[in-house]
Amino acid sequence: MLSLLSQLEQSGLATWIHESGSLWGYPLILFLHTVGFGTLVGLNAAIDLRLLGFGGGIPLKSFDNTFRMMWGGFALNAVTGSLLFIADATKHATNPTFYVKLTFVAAGLFTLTRIRKNVFRASLADDASIVRQGKILGATSLGCWLIVITAARLMAYIAEYINA
Amino acid sequence: MLNSLNAEHLHLLLNHFPTVGYAVGVGLFFVALFVKSKELKQASLVIFIVMALLSLPTYLSGNAAHFALKDQAQLSESMVQAHQDAALLGLIFMELTGLLAWFELWRVRYISHPLNWSLPAVVIFSLVTFGLMARAANIGGELRHPEIGAPADATVWPQTALLAKAFVIGNPWVWPAAEIFHFIGLTMIFGTVLLVNLRLLGIISHVSFASVYRLLPWGIAGFIINFISGMLFFVAVPDQYTQNSGFARKMVLMVLAALTMIYPTVFEKVSDLKAEDTAPVQNRVIAGASIALWVAVIFFGRYLPYIGSE
């Protein structure tokens, strides 16, 4: 397993990302990863807030066309995240924070699909049971993304601690 | 970008906005309250917002000027520190005043029900800011004009910049915690920016502009989080930022990007867009520019460690 990871890390592409020192290598991928994250989580958090009852005047249908953008943000991050992973494969694979992050990304995306199916596609009427379900899903979603952000920021610090 | 004399000149130019410009705003504001003029009140709130934005480059260029001049013998370090301490506290209250003024303008235009705290809050904060800015400007003036017989040493209470620096450097958890908050604030701002501008661009069209712009306080809250977390980074290692060409670019772009989010609060035409209405072409252009500017702010933020100093 570890040899597979180090093979990945030593591939031409990974070496270029990691070691070229080019401003259009690693930093660009990191920047795109941040834009994808801002798009997905920024829009999703706004939906969560609305579901929790903040700014009650915002109609749910404001968000109809944002689902495609959120999935676009995720697609960008699946690609850029894979590139960032292969550039430091052994370091990330031995970092428990990385798995926490991945787990809660999956949980956050799953919650988003539930929000779409159970709240947006359900009649759109302000039925009390849908409102209550929306609140639970909104709070779950916000919680997942908070954990993702925290884990993502702490990855470098934890890696330093593990490898010290 | 902010090298040697440029930084000092820039600071000497900019420092008139949070002092003279802001004093004009405070004067207008109290005249407006006295004669009960709605238009004059709105104009003075807009001045508060603009002065709060211009105070950011004013404070940051002060640190750059300090870096450029620190080998000059006639500059008293303790006076500079006193000026910085006074200026940072002034800046904090200036930003709060600007954000409260923005919130108050938004409330009057976009939500009809009255709030009994927001206008009194602007009154109190604008006065406190005025006093703090006058103090910072006074010490700054003595730095610049030793011929008027100013003292060579000074301290102010509280020593805001000094204490903030010691707090960040003395506690290893502060920097990573500020990073986490800076990314939380980023999502709050960027989500609001996307929704508001997608409505103007017509990608979201089935709802009125006003209903989407109700999200604004969420974006303003993100602004507050990122101002605090960003300033914690800056006060800890100011030279690392003032000597980085990416940082100056990020700040200029951020001021412009903020203006693209503020103008719908000020101009009535935008707030009147109903569901299915198409925004005028100039508003669509600004909306596109707004998203591009915010992405550029993220770009320079992310590139800071890689651009380094010039």
Counted domains in chain B: 2
Amino acid letter, A60 = L
B186 in a structural domain: yes
Query: A49 — contact with chain B (CB < 8 Å)?
Result: yes
Q: Residue B5 has what pLDDT?
A: 52
Q: Write out pLDDT tens, residues B50-77.
A: 999 999 999 999 999 888 888 776 788 8
Residue in the block written with tokens 């903030």: B164
Q: Which two tokens stand for residue B162?
A: 């000094």
B307 in a structural domain: yes
Percent of chain B's residues with pLDDT above 70:
95
Gap between the Cα atoms of B58 and B64, Å rounded: 10
The residue among B133, B157, B181 that closes a domain is B157
Distance from CA of A163 to the nearest CA of B (A): 18
Q: Which two tokens stand for residue B252?
A: 């200029």
Q: Write out pLDDT tens, residues B152-196.
A: 677 888 999 999 999 999 999 999 999 999 999 999 999 999 999
The answer on B114 and B75 residing in a single domain is: yes
The answer on B199 and B149 residing in a single domain is: no
Per-residue pLDDT at B309 exceeds 60: no
The answer on B219 and B99 residing in a single domain is: no
The residue among B134, B157, B180 that closes a domain is B157
- Cross-chain residue pair A145–B187, CB shorter than 8 Å: yes
B163 in a structural domain: no
Collect all residues with Cβ–Cβ distance below 8 Å to B256 and sequence separation of at least 6: B293
Q: What is the ipTM of this complex?
A: 0.94
Model confidence at B302, in pLDDT bands (50, 70, 90)?
Answer: very high
The residue among B128, B157, B186 that closes a domain is B157
Distance from CA of B206 to the nearest CA of A (A): 7
Gap between the Cα atoms of B138 and B152, Å rounded: 14
- Cross-chain residue pair A31–B302, CB shorter than 8 Å: yes
The answer on B195 and B120 residing in a single domain is: no
Computed over every residue of chain A, the mean pLDDT equals 91
The answer on B124 and B202 residing in a single domain is: no
Residue B22 is part of which domain span? Answer: 1-157
**pTM across the whole model:** 0.94
The answer on B191 and B150 residing in a single domain is: no
Q: Residue A1 has what pLDDT?
A: 65
Is the CB of residue A29 less than 8 Å from the CB of residue A77? no
Query: A150 — contact with chain B (CB < 8 Å)?
Result: yes
The burial class, CB within 10 Å (0-12 / 13-18 / 19+), for A4 is exposed
The answer on B180 and B133 residing in a single domain is: no
Q: What is the mean pLDDT of residues B8-20?
A: 90
B223 in a structural domain: yes
Model confidence at B1, in pLDDT bands (50, 70, 90)?
Answer: very low
Q: Residue A3 has what pLDDT?
A: 81
- Of residues A127 and A145, more confidence is placed in A145
Query: A27 — contact with chain B (CB < 8 Å)?
Result: yes
Counted domains in chain A: 1
B162 in a structural domain: no
Query: A54 — contact with chain B (CB < 8 Å)?
Result: yes
- Cross-chain residue pair A43–B303, CB shorter than 8 Å: no
Collect all residues with Cβ–Cβ distance below 8 Å to B171 and sequence separation of at least 6: none
Which residue of chain A comes nearest to B193, CA vs CA? A42
Distance from CA of A156 to the nearest CA of B (A): 10
Q: What is the mean pLDDT of residues B294-302?
A: 97
The answer on B238 and B126 residing in a single domain is: no
The answer on B116 and B198 residing in a single domain is: no
Residue A18 is part of which domain span? Answer: 2-163
The answer on B21 and B149 residing in a single domain is: yes
Per-residue pLDDT at B295 exceeds 90: yes
The answer on B179 and B298 residing in a single domain is: yes
Query: A42 — contact with chain B (CB < 8 Å)?
Result: yes
Per-residue pLDDT at A55 exceeds 80: no
- Cross-chain residue pair A46–B180, CB shorter than 8 Å: no
